[in-house]
């Protein structure tokens, strides 16, 4: 299972970042491959939704949610299944306290099978590395502009 990780500091308090990453109406602006979201059952653990990417519909589920700290979403489109984990913490100020910045880490796990050779080949996939970088850049821009 190849994993791609990117961390950014966002010039906004954790509350503002959390609000943005848990708002499915904004996902089309930054979430990887998501053009739109529909049929969200709830924004809580176990909540499911449909999402569209380039005219194809996939499914997603909210696997974990620790408010203001962690969000894990699994998406599937055909045989392509991905895990998206967002870890959030305060940044700036003294030891991250009282600052108006946040540190957000995003981990994309492609959840591919195929054993060690497939993992080795996908582990260096520049397309996925670039996708993770772009997601974080877009999300940072969005939140800082709100």
Interval 26-41: pLDDT, tens: 999 999 889 999 999 9
Instruction: Give the predicted TM-score (pTM) of the model.
Output: 0.86
Q: What's the 3-state SS for the chain?
A: CCEEEEEEEECCCHHHHHHHHCCCCCHHHCCCCCCEEECCCCCCCCCEEEEEECCEEEEEEEEEEECCCEEEEEEEECCEEEEEEEEEEEEEEECCEEEEEEEEEEEEECCCCCHHHHHHHHHCCHHHHHHHHHHHHHHHHHHHHC
What pLDDT, on the 0 to 100 scale, is given for residue 82? 92
- Written out in words, the top-level CATH class of the domain with range 3-145 is alpha beta
**Mean pLDDT score of the chain:** 87
Average pLDDT over residues 114-129: 55
Instruction: Give the pLDDT mean for 115-134.
Output: 64
pLDDT of residue 70: 98
Residue 115 has pLDDT above 60, yes or no: no
Q: What pLDDT is recorded for position 125?
A: 67
């Amino acid at each position: 299972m190849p994993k791609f990780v990117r961390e950014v500091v966002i010039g906004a308090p954790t509350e503002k970042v959390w609000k943005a990453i848990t708002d499915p109406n904004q996902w089309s602006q930054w979430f990887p491959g998501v053009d739109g979201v529909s049929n969200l059952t709830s924004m809580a653990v176990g909540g499911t939704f449909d999402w569209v990417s380039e005219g194809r519909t996939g499914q997603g589920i909210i696997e974990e949610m620790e408010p203001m700290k962690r969000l894990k979403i699994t998406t599937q489109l055909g045989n392509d299944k991905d895990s998206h984990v967002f870890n959030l913490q305060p940044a700036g100020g003294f030891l991250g306290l009282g600052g108006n910045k946040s540190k957000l880490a995003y981990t994309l796990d492609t959840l591919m099978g195929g054993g060690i050779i497939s993992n080795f080949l996908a582990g260096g996939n520049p397309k996925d590395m670039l996708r993770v970088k772009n997601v974080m850049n877009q999300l940072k821009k969005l939140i800082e502009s709100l």
